[in-house]
Structure 1
Amino acid sequence: MTATTEAAPAASRAGGVRPAGYTLVRAGRGSFLLHRRAAVTAVALVAALFVVCVAYLSVGESFVPPSEVLKVLFGQPSADELVVGTLRLPRMVLGLLVGLAFGVAGALIQTVARNPLASPDIIGISQGASAVTVGAMTFGVSSFAVLPYLSVTGGVVAAALVYVFAWRGGLHATRFVLIGIGFAIALRSVTTLFLTKGDYLVAQQAQVWMTGSLNGRGWDEAAPLGWVLLILLPGVAWAAYAQRTVSMDDDTATALGVRLGRVRLGLVVLGVLLASVATGAAGPVDFVALLAPQIARRMTRTAQIPLLCSALMGAVIVVLADLLARKVLAPTELPVGVLTAAVGAPYLIWLLVNSHSIRRTAGARAGGTA
């Protein structure tokens, strides 16, 4: 909600001036400013996600007409109930939830770091989850009921270490990203060590998990992830409001009485939890958290990264990538992480090449917001 109702700068609200691109919406006794382009983008992404989901449920070894897919989705009797409702729907729902979680997680971490390179798979969170999970597999833990919790633990611990080492009387964006990259490299080496020490079959299973895959996944993974996202929803609503203050320069935010340290810590914790639970459910699906927020920001042209549009874009990316992963080399199914990496890696290179101009643009936007 608040992700598309991005409020105007505090100075503009206090002065009673309505910024360009906003519409004043009254709701009972209250009112808020709605960013028109962000709202239109969110509606368009919802429509695109619906189309992608219907296509996902239609396409497979046997084609199911979209009309039959809609019957199943709306609870009407259909001869394709088994194929759509039992075989394809659980996997699609998991992909949708994973995309939502990674999209918001990437948006929150990039907001705190003020750097488009900051995402869970770049700053060590996904690598921490991978190291703990692969280590558990190496020592004989194979229960899929336990591994997601270990993955979450690894991601949280890795993020805590990065945050502690990056803190020097404040959280400097560049230091945060660089230390995160260092931890990512170190943790990837630990994961490789576990792979070389483990059984061959266990190593093969771990390799598939590390790529990020929805193969063989269903309601057992989607249901817990859905409940966690529902529990964290109030925190996401708070984050959509709090991220405006983090986007200001430090002096302005401090002058307005904002406790930046606490707000940034809260946003990082929320982003880490979202990324960790998504990783636990499907493995580290790389580059979704990197791509989704930046695409959403360019589509909405907002000063802050829009959380709702980032979530929807993440869901579109994962569901579409998994659809292509099932069909590109059919009947062989590729891990969804292979497709997201094929798109995300060139984008990461582009970000690195254009990092100076991106930082300058982001600084100008932040200055305008303050």
Structure 2
Amino acid sequence: MVLRPTPRLSLLVHRRSLAVAATLLVLLGAVMLASACLGQTLVPPGDVWAALRGTPGPYDLVVMELRVPRIVVGALVGLALGVSGALIQTVTRNPLASPDVIGVGHGAAAATVGALATGAVSSPSAMPAVSVLGGLAAAALVYALAWRNGLQPNRFVLTGVGIGVALSAVVQLYLADSELDAAEQLKLWLTGSLNGRGWEQARPLAAVLLLALPALVWASRAVRPLGLDADTAAGLGVRVNRMRLGLTVLGVVLAAAATGAAGPISFVALTSPQLARRLTRTPQLPLVASGLTGAVVLVTADLVARVLVPPVEIPVGALTALVGGPYLLWLLGRRT
């Protein structure tokens, strides 16, 4: 452990966490390069590098227009979901919790359905903003209903499950009564997909992550006392409810922004923090490692989804659910 004091702030740097983060960063770069090279059209790494430098070549369209924007969106979405999952699991003290549990994905889907059904929004570029607002509104409702002289983590999770079920029913009713083309388009979004995603989705998400950076620095310190039980943390002078509220808002904003960019992609926010914790062996969930793990997981899953059964492309959300389901059962088995 290395303690680096400054006049106003002390940061505790965990050597293993630093090494794990560096390794994950290198692994993310390797996976992103592999994703840029592989697909129905194989692109040599040298040509990928040439396209990135702006050197004219035969693969410019494939690399710079089709693959690189999609890869960047995948990395940003995975990063946001990984950090969001770590924050929500810290607040609830429950490794089975995730932004999906508190209704972010369901709220985003219901808001998108409402906008399509009423014609309130007709531009496809406005749909991410609608889904973000829906996710935030759903999480706010869950938080308000779960509040009883403070936030009770178990009540928070159960309320989120109930709200999620209700919102999911609204979406299913719309799908059953909508025209085929609209239903198919919405079903693809509901599954979670990076197909067709580009700089239009990457820029707003990158802006959210940059704006959230100061809050994430604060959150990296706040997760330590919240790793203790509420009474112990309060005894140390920690304002538990205020800190939980701040971490929840930050986690919901990140998850809602990610959902707006790629649709509700399940299990990345659930699995990434626990994988990162096992890698770093820290008592608290590591935010940086969780985010990088989420980015590696999602970019890898998208690569597999593209090349597994060509020319058919599997929605990445379906693949993460297929892998995440057994992981959830294993985690449940360990807890019982």
TM-score, normalised relative to structure 2 = 0.95
1:266 is displaced (CA, Å) by 0.5
Deviates more, 1:305-314 or 1:164-173: 164-173
Output aligned runs, 1:225-244, within 5 Å: 225-244=205-224
Distance (Å, rounded) in 2 between the aligned partners of 1:306 and 1:192: 36
Question: Which residue in the other structure is 1:118 paired with?
Answer: 97
Q: Say whether residues 1:86 and 2:82 are aligned partners.
A: no
Secondary structure of the structure 2 residue equivalent to 1:354: helix
Question: Which residue in the other structure is 1:325 paired with?
Answer: 305
Deviates more, 1:44-53 or 1:76-85: 76-85
Output aligned runs, 1:301-340, within 5 Å: 301-340=281-320
Distance (Å, rounded) in 1 between the aligned partners of 2:9 and 2:151: 35
Deviates more, 1:346-355 or 1:324-333: 346-355
**Equivalent of 1:56, from 35, 48, 73?**
35
The 8 Å contact of residues 117 and 177 in structure 1, kept in 2 or not, is answered as no
Output aligned runs, 1:213-252, within 5 Å: 213-252=193-232
Q: Say whether residues 1:277 and 2:257 are aligned partners.
A: yes
Deviates more, 1:65-74 or 1:124-133: 65-74
Question: Which residue in the other structure is 2:329 paired with?
Answer: 349
Structure 2 counterpart of 1:82, one-letter code: L
Distance (Å, rounded) in 1 between the aligned partners of 2:26 and 2:160: 36
Output aligned runs, 1:141-290, within 5 Å: 141-290=121-270
Q: Percent identity?
A: 55
> In angstroms, what is the RMSD of aligned CA positions?
1.8
In structure 1, runs of 5+ residues without a counterpart are 1-21, 357-370
Question: Which residue in the other structure is 1:368 paired with?
Answer: none
1:304 is displaced (CA, Å) by 0.8
Structure 1 counterpart of 2:154, one-letter code: T
1:118 is displaced (CA, Å) by 0.9
Question: How many residue pairs end up in the alignment?
Answer: 335
Distance (Å, rounded) in 2 between the aligned partners of 1:37 and 1:27: 22
Relative distance call for 1:347 and 1:142 in structure 2 (3 A) is: farther
Question: Which residue in the other structure is 1:12 paired with?
Answer: none
Structure 2 counterpart of 1:66, one-letter code: P
Distance (Å, rounded) in 2 between the aligned partners of 1:217 and 1:290: 23
1:161 is displaced (CA, Å) by 1.4
Distance (Å, rounded) in 1 between the aligned partners of 2:250 and 2:212: 8
1:154 is displaced (CA, Å) by 1.1
Question: Which residue in the other structure is 1:100 paired with?
Answer: 79
Distance (Å, rounded) in 2 between the aligned partners of 1:26 and 1:250: 27
In structure 2, runs of 5+ residues without a counterpart are none
Q: Say whether residues 1:36 and 2:15 are aligned partners.
A: yes
1:81 is displaced (CA, Å) by 2.3
1:253 is displaced (CA, Å) by 1.9
The 8 Å contact of residues 138 and 197 in structure 1, kept in 2 or not, is answered as no
Relative distance call for 1:33 and 1:230 in structure 2 (3 A) is: closer
Question: Which residue in the other structure is 1:16 paired with?
Answer: none
Secondary structure of the structure 1 residue equivalent to 2:96: coil
